[in-house]
A and B are shown apart, each in its own frame.
Chain A
Amino acid sequence: MRDARTNIRDALYEEPGPITKRYTAVGTAISLAALAVLAAAVVRQFYINGQLAPRYWTIFFRWTTWRFLGQGLLGTLRAAAMAGVVTFILGFILMTGRICNYRILRLIATAIIDFVRGVPTLLFIYFFFLVLPQLGIRLDAFWKVTLPVGISACGVVAEVLRSGVNAVPIGQKEAAYSLGMRETGIFLKVVFPQAIRYVIPALISELVIVVKDTTFAYVVNFPDLMQNAKVLISNYDAMLSVYLVVAVIYILINFLLNRLSDTIAKQRPRTLAAAELKGPTA
């Protein structure tokens, strides 16, 4: 479909002319050259400091290294998935509080949202790691990561969900009212299913943040990718190589998540937005 405007860039900028195209080509060439120089400088620096020595890298030829990292990766994925579930449930509850008819509930929900959005994740972790045990509450290391990470993200999730709910055209509700449907049914069967489709890309962006926040697992000794990486580093004294490999793994996870988000975002307009764009709103 090259005929239609397929992305935001096409919609925001006019087709470049010959001069603009020349500038773009020259700019691209200069940037690439600068990047190459930079990369070479980095590698040279590593070489000078002996970071490229084989002993730092041969550990990645061993099966046990990968198995250990794989266990860590599994821990990261488990923690991120559970934190994602926690944050979605809490975010959903806060969002319903934020949009409900009772002023007092709205105020409470708004206050909680502002609080969790304002406090750094690490503070929540410390709360679960240091404060709760003093109160006699003992949790698994798994929950000491997933609960604080989930709580930390739920404020944003609540606001994202709310923006989706607000984006559903009023006519959808009116049609449901006129059928005699009740508020709860309308919300669950008409409004929310559409709202969630609008905000899936934003929710996945938040999931990326959740994945990154699970690296705080090292604080509570939960064996995630980061924690296992630290163990490798102290065993082999191979900081740079291990961190590089682990960084690449994190980038891959989040790259895949973002690709998923893009795929969904591209499908969305065909099912939802097109209908509303066609019909004028009275």
Chain B
Amino acid sequence: MEKKNKMQDQLPVIELKHVDKHYGQLHVLKDINLTVRRGEVVVIIGPSGSGKSTLCRTINRLETIDSGEILITGEPLPKEGKDLARLRARVGMVFQSFNLFAHKTILDNVTLGPTDVLRVPKAKAREEAMQLLKRVGVDSQAAKLPAKLSGGQQQRVAIARSLAMHPEAILFDEPTSALDPEMIGEVLEVMTELAQEGMTMVMVTHEMNFARRVADRVIFMDAGSIIEENSPDEFFDHPATQRAKDFLNSIKDH
């Protein structure tokens, strides 16, 4: 896979500075610093409970933070209101459980954001939505409700729904963890294409082969901290810390 070497020249799309978060006594994010530049694919891995999903969700303020700063294309993420919504619209999100709008058809799922938030005329939104659905290979299902589709199809629709907002970056929170094994490939394929087209992506995943193939950078988290940050080849072949070695060994055993 081609790797983008000139990454350092690109502007940061997502910046986290000294981000801390507690759930009561539990310190779930400890002084997180992370910069994601335009076109970069960052994969976050780590054992369950390490805070990787929480980290991903703070970027869209689906989780609040206690202290620190989060910037989207240089603008600080507000705590509420119109400006928060405006910045959220710039960052797409794909969830583990798809979260397609259950009462809307596939097509309406994709057009809701553009028509409601970006005020795109309905006809234009539909036209573009159909193109996106075609791109992810579910255009033939456009008139159906989400429940009629397989998990893999639903997740590809969710990706199309994010793309319809023309986001600066897309967050993937374990996008394949809820899928039957035979459907994982079709979703990863769409994501690989996105990465190759230069989409900025932050991804929490357990798909190590995919991470090695597509990521520009791997972040390893444990107990709320970023433990390692490296190129995928370097991280998977020569993990620097004992915790990363233990984690990689524990998943290799299967």
| A-side contacts of B161, CB under 8 Å | 175, 179
| A-side contacts of B97, CB under 8 Å | 171, 279-282
Count of inter-chain pairs, beta carbons less than 8 A? 102
In whole Å, how far is A151's beta carbon from the nearest beta carbon of chain B? Answer: 30
In whole Å, how far is B122's beta carbon from the nearest beta carbon of chain A? Answer: 13
A181 sits at the interface (CB 8 A):
yes
- CB atoms of B86 and A171 under 8 A apart: no
A84 to B90, CA, bound (A): 43
A64 to B134, CA, bound (A): 65
A279 to B99, CA, bound (A): 9
Main secondary structure of the interface of A (DSSP, over half): helix
With A179-B89, A282-B97 in contact, is A193–B103 under 8 Å at CB?
yes
Q: Of the candidates B88, B95, B151, which one forms a contact with A180 in the assembled complex, judged by CB atoms under 8 Å apart?
A: B88
In whole Å, how far is B125's beta carbon from the nearest beta carbon of chain A? Answer: 12
| B window 53-92: CB within 8 A of A | 53, 60, 62, 82, 85-92
- CB atoms of A181 and B113 under 8 A apart: yes
- CB atoms of A182 and B151 under 8 A apart: no
A231 sits at the interface (CB 8 A):
no
B232 sits at the interface (CB 8 A):
no
- CB atoms of B85 and A181 under 8 A apart: yes
B1 sits at the interface (CB 8 A):
no
**Total interface residues in chain A, CB < 8 Å:** 29
| B-side contacts of A272, CB under 8 Å | 102-103, 147
Interface residues of A (CB under 8 A from B): 169, 171-172, 174-182, 185, 189-190, 193-194, 197, 270-272, 274-276, 278-282
Interface residues of B (CB under 8 A from A): 53, 60, 62, 82, 85-93, 95-103, 112-113, 116-117, 145-147, 151, 154, 158, 161-162, 165, 171, 173-174, 177-178
Besides the contacts A172-B102, A278-B147, A279-B154, what 15 more A-B pairs have beta carbons closer than 8 Å?
A174-B93, A174-B95, A175-B99, A176-B101, A179-B89, A179-B165, A180-B88, A180-B89, A181-B117, A271-B102, A271-B147, A272-B102, A278-B151, A279-B96, A282-B53
Sample 23 A-B pairs with CB under 8 A, ordered by A number. A172-B99, A176-B101, A177-B62, A178-B60, A178-B88, A179-B113, A181-B117, A182-B85, A193-B103, A194-B103, A270-B147, A271-B147, A272-B102, A274-B147, A275-B102, A276-B102, A278-B147, A279-B154, A279-B178, A280-B96, A280-B97, A282-B96, A282-B97
